[in-house]
């Protein structure tokens, strides 16, 4: 029996939720994700209402990217040496304080864009520490024999939070104002802190002492040596960087669909419903063979759906295409996340997760900036269409540049170094 399994309570049921700490951790994550999604809705709608600028929408992503990018690798090293539960708890409190500041500024007669972007930078810095610690903490909560199932439920909980959060945030904002949305989100983060405090503290495997520079770069070296993982992370980075249509949703809702924040929440929820549906399917029929081909097809379909979303002027059609985008993106997320959690030693898991978060946050947050900039140049619809075309081009290029990823068959096989 492995060390993690020996620490667990006696199970009483089936599946990873029979373990108390796994269930409690997923409840805390649900609160964190819902709160984060409410904040995103409120930030995007508030900034666009104040400025009517697509470029300013993109600045939300850029403000988060810079501190996140600079801090992610040191934060991964930190997650391998300090209590991961403690890191996630501290980050929940820091988010609560930052969101409370946003609630205060939203009540002022003239809300400050500078203060909003300072808060976004703090969110990026906090996420740099919380994401690798949170992802690396998961394998300690269940036995290794059911880790892959636990990973799928981990992803399903994320999608459930992204289904409920945007719909709730859009309606809170639509029925009240930005301050109310921020207040609710702050309450959810505070509740998550309480739930995390109820978890048992668990020992973790710490790496041998080595020079700081080498320890921080160890995650990069690990990813570079595993060409399947390098290909999957970089494919996701460039695909989402170019296909970041979701950053322009406020402009699509207000200028093309002539609707309000409730519809913005519904559109974001539709993406999450598509992803959640795919996650449920994969939980009961997991990927076992030809994982590389599934990954490439998923990203290609994502690109095609993005092009369709850019062309659409119909709310039902846009929602259908967003559902497809969410479902196809979940294939990429599943392959990437499972490759990291199944094959990475515990003493390296924080740093490798940090490298993954650099790729993910680079694609999401720089993608928002790229989408806002190109929309300011070419218009909203053309920016989305060109991004979808670029995503398909990246799929074709990566299928040639990373043949080991294209030929990847199972998660548990070790990829060649070159």
CATH number of the domain at 348, please: 1.20.1250.20
pLDDT band at 178 (very low <50, low <70, confident <90, very high): confident
Backbone angles phi, psi at 2, to 5 degrees: -75, 170
| Calpha distance 350→4 (Å, rounded) | 16
In a domain? residue 8: no
In a domain? residue 52: yes
DSSP annotation string for 85-105? HHHHHHHHHHHHHHHHHHHHH
E strands along 19-123, which residues?
Answer: none
Which pLDDT score is estimated for 1?
36
Instruction: Provide the residue range defining the domain that includes 345.
Output: 13-406
Q: What is the pTM of this model?
A: 0.68
Taking residues 188-197, what's their average pLDDT?
A: 94
In a domain? residue 269: yes
Write out the two tokens for 32. Answer: 């964190």
**Of the ranges 40-54, 195-209, 248-262, which one carries the lowest mean pLDDT score?**
195-209
| Calpha distance 134→136 (Å, rounded) | 6
Residue 285 neighbours by CB under 8 Å, 6+ apart: none
Q: How many domains does the chain have?
A: 1
E strands along 228-269, which residues?
Answer: none
Are 31 and 192 in contact by the 8 Å Cβ rule? The answer is yes
- With tokens 């924080």, the residue in question is 350
pLDDT band at 95 (very low <50, low <70, confident <90, very high): very high
Checking if the pLDDT of 417 tops 60, the result is no
Query: Which of the given ranges, 21-30, 273-282, 366-375, has the highest pLDDT on average?
Result: 21-30
In a domain? residue 415: no
In a domain? residue 3: no
Checking if the pLDDT of 182 tops 90, the result is yes
Neighbours of 211 (CB within 10 A): 8
In a domain? residue 411: no
In a domain? residue 140: yes
Taking residues 322-331, what's their average pLDDT?
A: 88
In a domain? residue 271: yes
DSSP character at residue 107: T
Taking residues 31-39, what's their average pLDDT?
A: 92
Which pLDDT score is estimated for 21?
87
Query: Which of the given ranges, 40-44, 68-72, 279-283, has the highest pLDDT on average?
Result: 40-44
| Calpha distance 292→402 (Å, rounded) | 10
Are 152 and 283 in contact by the 8 Å Cβ rule? The answer is yes
Checking if the pLDDT of 86 tops 80, the result is yes
pLDDT band at 10 (very low <50, low <70, confident <90, very high): very low
The H or E element containing residue 153 is: helix 147-175
- Residue 311: Cβ-neighbour burial (10 angstroms; 0-12, 13-18, 19+): middle
Are 97 and 315 in contact by the 8 Å Cβ rule? The answer is no
Residue 75's closest CA among 51, 91, 99? 91
Residue 71's closest CA among 134, 122, 119? 122
| Calpha distance 309→319 (Å, rounded) | 9
């Amino acid at each position: 029996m492995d060390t993690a399994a020996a620490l667990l309570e006696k199970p009483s049921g089936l599946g990873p939720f029979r373990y108390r700490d796994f269930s409690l951790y997923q409840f805390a994550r649900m609160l964190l994700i819902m709160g984060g999604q409410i904040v995103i809705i409120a930030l995007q709608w508030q900034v666009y209402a104040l400025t009517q600028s697509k470029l300013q929408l993109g600045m939300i992503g850029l403000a988060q990217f810079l501190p996140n990018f600079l801090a992610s690798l040191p934060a991964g090293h930190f997650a391998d040496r300090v209590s991961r539960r403690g890191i996630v708890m501290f980050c929940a409190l820091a988010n609560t304080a930052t969101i409370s500041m946003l609630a205060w500024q939203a009540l002022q007669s003239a809300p400050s864009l500078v203060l909003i972007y300072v808060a976004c930078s703090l969110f990026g810095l906090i996420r740099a520490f919380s994401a690798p610690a949170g992802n690396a903490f998961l394998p300690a909560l269940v036995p290794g024999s059911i880790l892959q199932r636990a990973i799928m439920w981990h992803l399903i909980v994320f999608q459930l939070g992204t289904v409920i959060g945007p719909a709730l945030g859009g309606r809170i904002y639509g029925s009240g104002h930005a301050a109310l949305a921020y207040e609710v989100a702050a309450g959810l983060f505070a509740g998550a802190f309480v739930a995390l405090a109820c978890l048992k503290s668990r020992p973790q495997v710490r790496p041998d002492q080595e020079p700081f520079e080498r320890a921080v770069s160890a995650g990069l070296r690990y990813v570079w040596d595993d060409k399947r993982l390098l290909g999957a992370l970089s494919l996701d980075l460039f695909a989402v960087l170019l296909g970041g249509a979701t950053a322009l949703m406020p402009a699509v809702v207000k200028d093309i669909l002539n609707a309000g924040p409730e519809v913005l929440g519904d559109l974001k929820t539709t993406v999450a419903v598509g992803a959640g549906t795919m996650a449920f399917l994969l939980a009961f029929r997991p990927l076992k063979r030809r994982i590389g081909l599934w990954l490439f097809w998923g990203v290609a379909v994502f690109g095609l759906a993005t092009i369709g979303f850019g062309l659409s002027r119909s709310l039902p059609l846009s929602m259908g295409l967003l559902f497809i985008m969410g479902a196809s993106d979940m294939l990429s997320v599943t392959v990437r996340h499972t490759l990291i959690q199944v094959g990475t030693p515990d003493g390296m898991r924080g740093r490798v997760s940090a490298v993954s978060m650099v790729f993910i946050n680079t694609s999401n947050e720089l993608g928002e900036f790229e989408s806002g900039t190109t929309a300011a140049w070419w218009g909203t619809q053309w920016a989305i269409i060109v991004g979808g075309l670029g995503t398909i081009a990246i799929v074709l290029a990566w299928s040639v540049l990373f043949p080991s990823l294209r030929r990847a068959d199972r998660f548990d096989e070790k990829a060649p170094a070159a």
